[in-house]
Amino acid sequence: MTRILIAGYQHETNTFAPSLADWAAFQSGEAFPAYVRGQTLIDQMSGVNIPAGGFIDAARREGWQLVPSAWAGATPSSYVTHDAFERICAAIVEDVRAALVQGLDGVYLDLHGAAVAENADDSEGELIARIRAVVGPKLPIVASLDLHANVTERMLKLSDGLVAYRTYPHIDMAETGERAALLLREHLRAGGKRPMQARRLPFLIPLNAQSTWMAPAKELYDEMIALESQTACMLSFCMGFPASDFAECGPVVWGHGPQAEAAVQRLFERVAEPGQWRPDVLPAREAVAQALATAEVSAAPVVMADTQDNPGAGGDSNTTGMLHALLQQGAGQRWPGQVALGLLCDPEAARMAHAAGVGASLQLALGKAVPTFTGVASDPPVQGRFTVRALGPDACELKGPMMTGVRVHIGPCACLEIDGVLVAVASGKMQMLDRELFRAVGIHPEQMKLLVVKSSNHFRADFTPIASRVLVAKAAGPMAADPGDLPWKKLSPQTRTRP
């Protein structure tokens, strides 16, 4: 029976963000499943919309015997600590070495592709290199990657196949794991690595221009899929995570197959047109003003993305710029109880709300002023009297199109109201990518006039269907909407920070 080792390492590193990803972050997982090792990996991941889940299901159809190693994921933040990275690598490499004793036919890795460790800028490349040193040059190593992977030459050279998500919001994660299984199956049948070609774009693409729900990405990925069928290649286009300060940060196009060179060149020519990658982002106050005007004439909610405090891109989900803008323009007074913001991470406020109980009135300084890439702190906490409207559980099962079925742990949470504005407060960091995160504290998104979500694009999968309009707002925070605003030090001089 074909024996395949499966392991995972998921982290998106914003090297300009304030908080590190230590071992405790991987043990808790927060927005990800918590760290697991051994059979629990198979039991928890099967049937879940993450790449490992898709690979497991495909492997079972192939009749492969899976050898589970470790799977580690942590909420996006600054660097993965030296300690955390070495623990994760040591566990996976130890399991690979042990599996070789009983016979091993391949390795599958569920990777993000944009993880930067304190001791390894290209930490996924480093992990693959350590595995390659154990298994030798012939045993296949295949990996799935996030659409925001910063794909390196080392990753491409030392692996036998890489394949990336094709949607942002990422609703095809399990499908990507299945495509990785297909790559591995083809390698096993052919007895060797398929031809591979890759091209790197000479500029960074802002996150807010990357959504595959909108132009240009939507059309470009459709063209990529059509080109794939014409050439019998497996193609990938990673738009990159434009806040990882190392030499190879940036978008990459690559493909596997006999016609990969021609296919990759054609795709590269389409995606490398710089003028198409310009995001539409508004200052916080202007976004709220436009939202108020739209809400006056629309029954469905107006959704605003607080993109620069996105915890899915390294923010801590605790800045208050958008809350200040709502209060200053009287949004909650115009529609009391129909204006909501979330998730705002403030463990002390959540603790006080649970201690006081529903209906209690609390004097709070909600949120936090944090360092930003500009060198100036974000907006101050919101000082005032808040009413506890609802209390929520420590965990929530997601039901939207992204991460369907995943149970996330956000700690004690609550709905706090100030001047008619409802704030979904959590003890842990979690990007607002699923309406269940509002419902957990008694806020029903469909009944709101205005919704502010701490997210950049992932919210679109579950919120666009209920929205009359979607706006992207730029309040002070640690994740730059424009990568050209960041103080880069290590980026390759051949890579422009703006398209």
Q: State whether 154 and 301 are in the same domain.
A: no
Flag whether 322 is in a domain: yes
- How many domains are contained in the chain? 2
Residue 491 lies in a domain: no
Contact 308, 485 (CB under 8 A): no
Q: Are residues 205 and 348 in the same domain?
A: no
In terms of domains, do 235 and 362 share one? no
Question: Sorting pLDDT into bands at 50, 70 and 90, what band is 29?
Answer: confident
Query: Three-state DSSP class for 175?
Result: helix
Nearest to 385 by CA among 424, 349, 335: 349
Tell me: the pLDDT tens digits for 402-428?
A: 988 888 889 999 999 999 999 999 999
The answer to whether residue 386 sits within a structural domain is: yes
pLDDT at residue 224, as a whole number:
98
Are 206 and 290 found together in one domain?
Answer: no
| 235 and 332 both lie in a single domain | no
Q: State the average pLDDT over residues 66-70.
A: 98
Digit-coded pLDDT (tens) for 257-306: 999 999 999 999 999 999 999 999 999 999 999 999 999 999 999 999 99
Q: Kindly list the distances between the CA atom of residue 49 and the CA atoms of 81, 181, 410, in Å, as whole numbers in the listed order.
A: 27, 15, 19
CB 44 within 8 A of CB 36: yes
| Residue 489 CB neighbour total at 10 angstroms | 8
Q: Using CA atoms, how far apart are residues 116 and 138, in angstroms rounded to an integer?
A: 27
Q: How many Cβ atoms from other residues are within 10 Å of residue 266's Cβ? A: 18
Range of the domain at 183: 3-276
Same-domain status, 241 and 310: no
Last residue of a domain, one of 252, 276, 300: 276
pLDDT one-digit tens code per residue, 73-100: 999 999 999 999 999 999 999 999 999 9
Distance of alpha carbon 127 from the chain centroid: 20
Domain termination residue (choose one: 276, 297, 330): 276
483 vs 243, 260, 486, 492, CA distance in Å? Answer: 7, 31, 6, 14
Same domain, 253 and 297: no
Report the pLDDT averaged over residues 190-218: 95
For residues 274 and 298, what is the distance between their CA atoms, to the nearest angstrom?
35
pTM for the model stands at 0.92
For residues 298 and 267, state if they share a domain: no
Interhelix angle for 284-297 vs 321-328, to 10°?
50
| Confidence (pLDDT) at 273 | 96
Residue 231 lies in a domain: yes
Residues 246 and 297 in one domain: no
At residue 110, does pLDDT exceed 90? yes
